[in-house]
Structure 1
Amino acid sequence: MTTPTTRATRASQGKTARKHIPRSAHATWLPSVDRPDPVAVLERQGRDRLTELLPVRYARMAASPFAFLRGSAAVMAGDLAASPHTGLTVQLCGDAHLLNFGLYASPERALLFDLNDFDETYPGPFEWDVKRLAASVAVAARESGHPEPQVHRAAQEAGHAYRTHIRGLARKGELAVWYERIDADSLLPLVRSAGARRRVESSLTLARRRTSLQALGKLTETVDGRRRIIHDPPFIEPAGASDTAALRKIFSDYRSTLSEERRLLLDRYRFVDAARKVVGVGSVGTRCFIVLLAGRDTDDPLFLQIKEARKSVIEEHLPSGPYVHHGHRVVAGQRLLQAASDIFLGWMTGPQGRAFYWRQLRDMKASADIAGMTPPELRRYAHLCGTALARAHARSGDRIAIAAYLGGADTFERAVADFALAYAAQTTADHAALCAAVAAGVVTAAPEA
């Protein structure tokens, strides 16, 4: 992702992109005549997943249109790729919906707000992330029963925050942009009502408590004097002798992707237990494990998550990226997009040549309760997410070109809001198609979840 050398040339590149795709053109969403069936797209994704977990995935996605949106990044990627794009490339999150933003701890133990999911990260046109964010705002607002003008206003707010913040970052120097971050304590001034302030303060308190030590009490038990991960099938199951042996064997490969001082820290822990864990919505069926390590003693735990890294859903629609190993792609993308990243973030190749990445299972992570937000609260949260997304994109793409493309008027965000409402209707229809497929027995949904 090289950029032109002068500010004027970079700005000119952004303005030239308007000739290829005017900002107002982002308002359009019309499904192509050969648009793939959304259920077929999901079934195709499931062919190389753990078959016994697919009913869990379908059940979780069938719960609501927003749950469907969360799990159908592949569907939306195909839809976005079917339309012209600006060609202004950034490192995309690839799945920038509202619940893929949240709180987490920096290595310095500061609580930050940022993007927090990078399974689909890949270089691509900046507006794909903005449109997915805005669409998720619209779906969430409709699901909460907000009036239609408020739905549009909230979706537009995400685009407005993105545009204004990236224009501000375009005026800053490189180091200032790189050091930019959103500290969690800065969230409180955004909250107006006393009730909402209490909810935010409670979220911050809970996030600070979500550590490996807290997980030790929740996820483990002592059996015959030995600490082990609690079994809760099908969501948490023993790793099995072969999987455990494989995890031990590949541990050194993961270790080699860490910096030297972090290898030394990791070496102070010993392996205690491992289990397979079901995570998320769209990720259900991929191979995911949690590993319990002990440091000074059994009351000094470290939980690591090992998650399968598959081909990004947007990769098939764009030119080849810089990473052959998908675990490396996820880790590199996270380090590039986040203001600060987990010290144990690393990758390796597992059994059958599958790519995996490692990270801490809990490190003061927390997400917002968007279902309980009033229209003003959702607008402010959409603004916060749009701001965080602009900061992430500014680290990898040409923020000056993007800022020049977006301009000083509100044309882009109004167009994106129109798109968001149209795509929210498409998501509702796709969700209904999945529910119909479940009812007809085309796909099986577990009675959980």
Structure 2
Amino acid sequence: MLGAGIGAIGLAALAGTALYAQVSGDRGIAPVASTTDIVANNIHVDVHAKSAEEARQDGWREAQRLAWEKLGGPKLPDSRIESMVSAVVIEHEQLGPRRYIATLDIIFDRSRAGALLGGEGKRARSAPMLTLPVLIDGGTATMFETRNPWQRVWANFQSGASSIDYVRPSGAGGESLLLTYGQVSRRSRLWWNNILAEFGAADVVTPIARLRHEWPGGPIIGTFTARHGPDNQVLGEFTLRAANDSELDAMLEDAVRRFDEIFQRGLADGKLRPDPTLESERVQISPEIMRLIEASRQAEAAEQAARTAQAEAENPANIQASTAPAQTEQVAVANVTVQFATPNAAAVDTALTSVRSSPGVRGASTSSIAIGGTSVMRVSYAGNISALAAALRARGWNVTESNNALSISR
């Protein structure tokens, strides 16, 4: 008996260690703070000068001029262009005694440069879109389980000037368990609503990068697919090529910009809209349907009035009783915490459906989900906790009652 108890303690400790290992370590990459500044990416310069410092200064000055030309700005002196630059991001640089080679991103302040570039006007923004970057490399699909270059370029993407409101998780802590490649293929609106509510998003976009290595150290072919919504609808697809591993990051950065163009085009075409089956209370009914509903209600009310008048004419003695005001009993609504076992994803949907359909239940939503463990839901019930326990027992649940909380199981 003692050996069995020690064994159970050992298994519990091992399970706890395994769960901690799944969320510990350097998994998350925090996204950069997005600004509305104007960015010109991948400006390459190769400059010779009398010294390394002078070559660097000349290289930055040339990069700012090339960036301004790339954005389509009017011809201006270098000093004027430099006054509008808010930051220079170094992607790659090599310094020699008299030479400077670099790839730079030049960021212009929108308040100073926007009018000259025609970008001072406001643009419509999309609803908040949860962004789930999927990398498929070597037959393995990952999202936030481990740090990867695809996650990194999305975290570093400056999305402030885009018309898409990207919601970018960091992947730290429990996010690496919740946001996996398996989530992309889920269709349950309950699951998606819980996840979107967790991150304050209205819908989801899934940029997928599939990499194929020709040979170790050789060319890399990237196939990129832009998907949207809980039904994983395809918005666009393209292919890029990197000569070797050293050019992979540049290819992925180019892919992110192309994805942003696809998503912005989808927004302009009306394709990138929140799915109406997500958070159904947000759905707006068209005026034509509203008129039909109102006409139906009026016809039903007229028919009911005619039946009432006919009944009163046939039996006048019941008029006084039927016209007496009804006494409405006010029932207090209690918020109860309910714990339930969830060995798999289907158990979550099953438990919620059963509880929501119980008499007296006004609403139920999950506050914590643990697949393979015990999840928690909050239930609004018109009555006290004992009445809720009785209602759940009537639906076949084994119920354990404690202080303002219930534990249910089959």
User: TM-score band (shorter)?
Assistant: under 0.3
Query: TM-score, normalised on structure 2?
Result: 0.20
Larger RCO: 1 or 2 (CA < 8 Å, sep 6+): 1
Identify, as 1 or 2, the structure richer in helix. 1
Identify, as 1 or 2, the structure richer in strand. 2
Q: Which has the larger radius of gyration?
A: 2
